[in-house]
Amino acid sequence: MKFTEEHEWLRAEGDVIVVGITEHAAEQLGDVVFVELPDTETEVAKDDEVVVIESVKAASDILAPIDGEIVEVNEMLNDEPSKVNEDAQGDAWFFKMKPSDPSQMDEMMDEAAYKKFVG
C-alpha cells in the first residue's frame, strides 16, 4: 500500500488502483454519516475533488491521488457510510481507478513513512 499526505491509501490490484482513507483520517473525522461517490467512467486528474465525505464533525473532500479513470465505486457506502469508521483500510474503500500514469505512486509514502508522518 501507498499513502498520501492527505491521508489516502492506495492499493494496486492488477492494473487497477483501489483508493480509500486511512484509519487515522477516519478517526479524525469522527462518525461518518454520508459519502458521495463519483460516477464511474469519470476521468480525473491528481488533486481533483472526487468524493465528499460528511461526518458529525465536518465535511471533507477526498482528492484524486493520481490521474486516471474511475472504473468502480463502493456502492455499499451509500447505505452504510459508517463502514468507513469500522474498516477504513479494508471493505470501506471509495473507488477503483485505472491510472494514466502508475509511476505517480512512486512518490508516495510506504506504511512506515506514513506512520512517522502521522506520529
* Residue at 91 is within a domain: yes
> 61, 75, 57: which is closest to 21 by C-alpha?
61
* Residue at 57 is within a domain: yes
Q: What is the CATH number of the domain that holds 73?
A: 2.40.50.100
Cell 464533525 locates to 57
Structure-block grid coordinates of residue 41: 467512467
* Residue at 17 is within a domain: yes
* Residue at 107 is within a domain: no
Owning domain of residue 16: 2-101
**pLDDT per residue over 10-45, tens digit each?**
999 999 999 999 999 999 999 999 999 999 999 999
Q: Is 8 helix (H, G, I), strand (E, B) or coil?
A: strand
* Residue at 61 is within a domain: yes
Mean pLDDT of the chain: 96
* Residue at 111 is within a domain: no
Q: What is the dihedral of CA 27, 57, 72, 70, to 10 degrees?
A: -110
* Residue at 84 is within a domain: yes
Could you give the CA distance from residue 67 to residue 103 in angstroms, rounded to a whole number? Answer: 10
Q: Which DSSP state fits 51?
A: E
* Residue at 109 is within a domain: no
Q: What is the count of structural domains for the chain?
A: 1
The pTM assigned to this predicted structure is: 0.95
**Mean of pLDDT values over 60-64:** 94
